[in-house]
Amino acid sequence: MSNLGSCNTTNQAVIQWVKEMADLCQPDRVYWCDGSEAEKQALTAQAVADGVLLKLNPEKLPGCFYHRSNPNDVARVEQCTYICTDVETDAGPTNNWAPPKEMKERLYGLARGGMKGRTLYVIPYLMGPAGSAMSKVGVELSDSIYVALNMRIMTRMGRIAYQQLGTSDDFNRGLHCMLDVNPERRYICHFPRENLIISVGSAYGGNVLLGKKCLALRIGSYLGRQEGWMAEHMLVLGVESPRGEKTYVAAAFPSACGKTNFAMLIPPERFAGWKVWTLGDDIAWMKPGPDGRLYAINPEAGYFGVAPGTNYKSNPNAMQTIARDTIYTNVALTPDLDVWWEGKDGEPPAQATDWQGRPWTPASKEKAAHPNSRFTAPMANNPALAPEVNDPNGVPISAIVFGGRRATTMPLVFQAFNWTHGVFIGATLGSEMTAAAVGGMGQVRRDPMAMLPFCGYNMGGYFRHWLRMRKRLKFPPRIFHVNWFRKDAEGNFLWPGFGENMRVLKWIVDRCHGRADANETPLGWVPGAKDIDLEGLDGFTAEHLEEALNIDLEEWRRELLMQEELFLKLYSHLPKELIFQRELLVSRL
């Protein structure tokens, strides 16, 4: 029998499960996290003593720490991620599947005795605002102190979760064992019917911070279908006009395609008096409200953001957010214990240590920071944090935006004709693959609603759930598609992006309020060159805008074939409405 240490909850279901898992994993110690400040200090000191964290320069980066993961463990691994439903078709053709019983036996086999000599951290956490009917409780058991400290930033961690849970046994169970961080024995497995997650063999990001992609998206989407809500890979922002009108927008872009940047947008000078507030940068839980509008909460409490490309010009709010109390993972380290990455402000350091701990200079051929290096920072640090972020009711969404990273084909922005057409646009979303997941960099793949790696059930059923939600909404959000990443023949981005995306956002907001013009095209409603405000954009003319908005029929013929591939794969579960939408698009083109 394991020594359970000084347990800090009276919830019998939690205690019982910790006991079972401790008996299985046989840690030397069990530590029950309470989420307090004193605990943060103690765990941080321990992580530094263990060599897991390095304290960064306190003058430049107060409260900040540096971490390097195993070089074989730097991103999500989709090939090791499983949805273990009872029947294979419930997981669908876009997920890896294994029978729950067999997979659990294999994983418990790997975990047996896997924490010998180590500490098991009991990490209770709340996803969503305290007291919200939309929030969910999870308990993650992990043998990684790095996970405990990251979960403390990313979620509302500690006693607050036990308070929300009360005596209920309805919480997500998450077991995480690092083992020897061996890619051959790496599994991230979801058991939706049991509300259970087991992750072994990794210690990085979305593989192990189980509240994030595993609970908030994979298990969340499964629960959402049953309970009548939506778990989406979406940022949520609020646009405030100079008159004080607030419009809330949710946007789904695939991993490393601009959610954090869009969520923290600072409007350019031309938009004096406008303000963008951040609700969330990665995940939205959305539910119809009593007034027939769709309400969203951000289940998270922090940002696990992409470091490369983040600078005071592209994303000043992020730079301020990560100036303190932040954990940096796989960036480069300078001799004065500052951090650096490709695309940070200023000159590269004359010398540094790269993300693998090797000496680096600007002459080095390899990157100093891993392309998927990340910061973990509390949302409370964000100067643009929306005050509504803790509102248990969430915020009413007026627009849903889909977007991908597409060098060709997709115009800067267009609007769906209606909800069903919008679901079709989301369902056919394509994007170039990024460093956020292992493999395939740069290839265009279908990533429906930016949820391909995160949907916890059959993708066809997920589309049907989207279509059905329309019936529960009196005021459905308007749906849009954007592409910040279109390139010219020389390979330069056609659109300046970042803060300038406000110009497109303004059109979206105005469309929601019936104040902006658009032209009907085969794809949907597209703004004319006069409908997007270009004033103050040096060197960017109406002709440039037309190029960014252009619809090229040749490119669209290829696009249709690529969309067809996914539809064929999903055919047996694909809602008829989407097949009709495809027919309509073909005939319009």
Residues taking part in catalysis: 257
- CA–CA distance, 132 with 429 (Å, rounded to integer): 32
What binding mask, one character per residue, do residues 339-378 give for ligand GTP by CB under 6 A, x or -?
----------------------------------------
Neighbouring-strand partners of residue 402? 252, 481
190 in contact with ligand SPV (CB under 6 A)? no
Burial 502-518 (b: 16+ CB within 10 A, else e): bbbbbbbbbbbeeebeb
484 in contact with ligand GTP (CB under 6 A)? yes
Work out the burial of residue 538: count CB atoms within 10 Å of its CB; fewer than 13 is exposed, 13-18 middle, 19 or more buried: exposed
147 in contact with ligand SPV (CB under 6 A)? no
Q: Would you tell me how many other CB atoms lie within 10 Å of the CB of residue 567? A: 16
Q: Would you tell me how many other CB atoms lie within 10 Å of the CB of residue 582? A: 18
Could you tell me the CA-to-CA distances from 548 to 485, 493, 544 in Å, in that order?
10, 9, 6
Exactly one of 5, 93, 497, 528 binds ligand GTP (CB under 6 A); that residue is 497
Q: Considering the complex, what minimum distance in angstroms separates the CB of residue 486 from ligand SPV?
A: 22
Work out the burial of residue 381: count CB atoms within 10 Å of its CB; fewer than 13 is exposed, 13-18 middle, 19 or more buried: buried
What is Dmax (Cα atoms) for the chain?
A: 73
Q: Which of residues 264-303 bind Mn ion (CB under 5 A)?
A: 282
Q: Considering the complex, what minimum distance in angstroms separates the CB of residue 307 from ligand GTP?
A: 9
**Residue 497 site contact among ligand GTP, Mn ion, ligand SPV, none (CB < 5 to 8 Å, cut-off depends on kind):** ligand GTP
Our CB check for ligand GTP shows the closer of 121 and 328 to be 328
Say if CB 479 and CB 469 are below 8 A apart.
no
Our CB check for ligand SPV shows the closer of 78 and 555 to be 78
Our CB check for ligand SPV shows the closer of 212 and 344 to be 212
What binding mask, one character per residue, do residues 275-314 give for ligand GTP by CB under 6 A, x or -?
------xx----------------------xx-xx----x
326 in contact with ligand GTP (CB under 6 A)? no
Exactly one of 199, 260, 329, 409 binds ligand GTP (CB under 6 A); that residue is 260
Strand (E) or helix (H) holding 66:
strand 65-67
Residue closest to ligand SPV, measured at CB: 206
Q: Would you tell me how many other CB atoms lie within 10 Å of the CB of residue 492? A: 7
436 in contact with ligand GTP (CB under 6 A)? yes
Q: Which stretch binds ligand SPV (CB under 6 A): 157-165, 206-214, 244-252, 347-355?
A: 206-214
- Residue bearing tokens 């990157």: 367
- CA–CA distance, 136 with 164 (Å, rounded to integer): 8
259 in contact with ligand GTP (CB under 6 A)? yes
What binding mask, one character per residue, do residues 57-96 give for ligand SPV by CB under 6 A, x or -?
-------------------x--------------------
Could you tell me the CA-to-CA distances from 579 to 276, 444, 574, 583 in Å, in that order?
37, 22, 8, 6
Binding site for ligand SPV (CB under 6 A): 76, 205-206, 212-213, 255, 282, 304, 436
